[in-house]
Amino acid sequence: MTNNLNSELRLARRITAVGSGVLHALAALSLLGEALHCAIVLSAELPGTWGDPLFEVLLVISQLAAVGAVALAARFLRHFCVDPSPFSTAQSARLAVMATIVMGRTVLDVVLSRAFYPVGHAPLPLLCLAVETQVVLKVLALAVFIGCLAMVVRYGNALKEDSDSIV
């Protein structure tokens, strides 16, 4: 039984190490893309809402929130690889912050889309509203899942501490 547990832990740590590397690379690429976006917007006069400074600031905040959530997910996986136990208060806190960021970004994106792209002016307004609603519901479901996972990790930490106190 112990050999099976050890091999499962080694496999999980290898896979999460790869996942952490991929997420770190995605976060870095996203930051690079956001820097390029800011450089283009600052150097060119673009028509439409691109010229609205409030829109641009909110868009950058939204994008940076997404990068922050990806970076937190990468750190969560990295700590799983290197820490003696994947269950800790810090791991639970990372997930809770990530869920909050995803939820906040979703709300910000809805505000951005309503303020700068009213549905009545969009081509095929009902289709745009249906697609946007589906995306928002998926992201909100992800945020709820991450928040619940934070509580599961927190409970796992409590179980670990309880079993450590018995031994």
pLDDT higher than 80, residue 128? no
pLDDT digits (tens, 9 = 90+) for 45-92: 655 545 567 777 777 788 888 888 888 889 888 888 888 777 888 888
Provide the 8-state DSSP code for 81.
H
What pLDDT is attached to residue 97? 92
Give the Å distances, CA to CA, from 149 to 3, 144, 158: 27, 9, 14
pLDDT higher than 70, residue 13? yes
pLDDT digits (tens, 9 = 90+) for 108-122: 777 777 665 555 555
Give the Å distances, CA to CA, from 112 to 23, 101, 117: 26, 16, 8
Tell me the mean pLDDT in the region 85-106: 87
